[in-house]
Amino acid sequence: MPLPKAELHLHIEGTLEPELAFELAARNGVELPYADTEALRTAYRFEDLQSFLDLYYELMAVLRTEQDFADLANAYLARAAAQGVRHAEIFFDPQAHLTRGVGMGTVVEGLWRALEHSEREHGVSTLLIMCFLRDESAESATATLDAAKPYLDRITGIGLDSAEVGHPPAKFREVYEAAAALGLRRVAHAGEEGPPEYVTEALDVLGVERVDHGLRCMEDPALVQRLVRERIPLTLCPLSNVRLRAVDVLAEHPLPAMLDAGLLCTVNSDDPAYFGGYAGDNFDAVRAALGLGEERLRELARNSFVASFLEHDEERRAR
């Protein structure tokens, strides 16, 4: 039996497996520039974050209808459940769909078709976190928040993703303030490819409660001390870090040093269809490559629930 765990860093568009991509392409009459699933998989050799993002956005062309988003989410939830995931806080990237003429309603209602039955069907509770693309403008983020207003009863929080370097957190101060005023929880990707200063800025300027990745905090001992003192969770994604070359090989991942430093680390899958594994696969990989003992693995699983928004969201819904 896999350890029960919560998944806190998961882009639903990054769960699009080649087989489903081709199935949806056929259903929607979308032409993919790959002969078959095999040819597509060979494209999964990434140099860095941007080379991955190019393919990630390209494949989204197959997602067009509510049913497409429902099928995508259902496939993820079934896989996650099989690997011990009991709760998932799911990112989605509305701007990547809005710019293709797919509306906010199609995305949210479609995902909801799967999420509303997830506890019963898969034994997985879920929350939605809407991410802004940091390589788009701050105005576009604000327009996205406005477009989401009819759906805020289904959205727990906001996040910030896509190409990090050159797009510091402070660019999104206003939209994070507006989201906070609407009662939304706040997270952001920081310190994946960007410098430790972006982690500090995400905390100080955006008021994030949790940092996605945060890996590069290890370059700044004072920042590590602060993250420990303030119990700020980090949502690490070890297989992603290897595939996107944030670390050379898994055996050199700083996770053990981060745990030893007292950081509240969690292990997640990021974009499992692209990076070679779901949440349980990431646990298995760090166990094998880093020699983590049972106690450390249980700590990671426990951390995932501690770091989740579960309790708070239940309070919010009850109000």
Q: What does DSSP assign to residue 81?
A: H
Contacts of 10 (CB under 8 A, 6+ apart): 76, 80, 88, 89, 90, 91, 268, 269, 270, 272, 279
Residue 68 marked ligand-binding: no
Three-state SS for 272?
Answer: helix
Choose, by CB under 6 A, the member of 83, 125, 126, 162 that binds ligand ES4: 162
The residue (of 159 and 296) whose beta carbon lies closer to ligand ES4 is 159
Q: Applying CB under 6 A, does 96 fall inside the site for ligand ES4?
A: no
With CB atoms as reference, the residue minimizing the distance to ligand ES4 is 161
| Active-site hit among 13, 192, 193, 209 | 192
Give the DSSP H/E element, type plus range, for residue 170: none
Choose, by CB under 6 A, the member of 64, 189, 216, 253 that binds ligand ES4: 189
Q: Alpha-carbon distance 15 to 221, whole Å?
A: 34
Q: Applying CB under 5 A, does 93 fall inside the site for Zn ion?
A: no
Shortest separation between residue 35's beta carbon and ligand ES4, angstroms: 25
10 Å CB burial of residue 204 (0-12, 13-18, 19+) is exposed
Query: Facing residues of 161 across strands?
Result: 133
Shortest separation between residue 268's beta carbon and Zn ion, angstroms: 8
Choose, by CB under 6 A, the member of 240, 266, 268, 282 that binds ligand ES4: 240
Phi, psi (degrees; rounded to nearest 5) at 225: -55, -45
Q: Alpha-carbon distance 302 to 257, whole Å?
A: 18
Residue 271 marked ligand-binding: yes
Picked from ligand ES4, Zn ion, none, the partner binding residue 68 (CB below 5 to 8 A depending on kind) is: none
Choose, by CB under 6 A, the member of 161, 201, 209, 281 that binds ligand ES4: 161
Residue 270 marked ligand-binding: yes
Picked from ligand ES4, Zn ion, none, the partner binding residue 106 (CB below 5 to 8 A depending on kind) is: none
Question: Which of 238, 191, 187 lies closest to 216 in space, CA to CA?
Answer: 191
Q: Applying CB under 5 A, does 66 fall inside the site for Zn ion?
A: no
Query: Facing residues of 138 across strands?
Result: none
> 89 an active-site residue?
no
Helices (H), 29-93: 37-42, 49-59, 66-82
Q: What does DSSP assign to residue 205?
A: T
Picked from ligand ES4, Zn ion, none, the partner binding residue 266 (CB below 5 to 8 A depending on kind) is: none
Q: Applying CB under 5 A, does 270 fall inside the site for Zn ion?
A: yes
| Annotated binding-site residue numbers for substrate | 271
Interface contacts to ligand ES4, rule CB under 6 A: 11, 14, 49, 56, 161-162, 189, 192, 240, 270-271
Task: Just list the catalytic residues.
Answer: 192
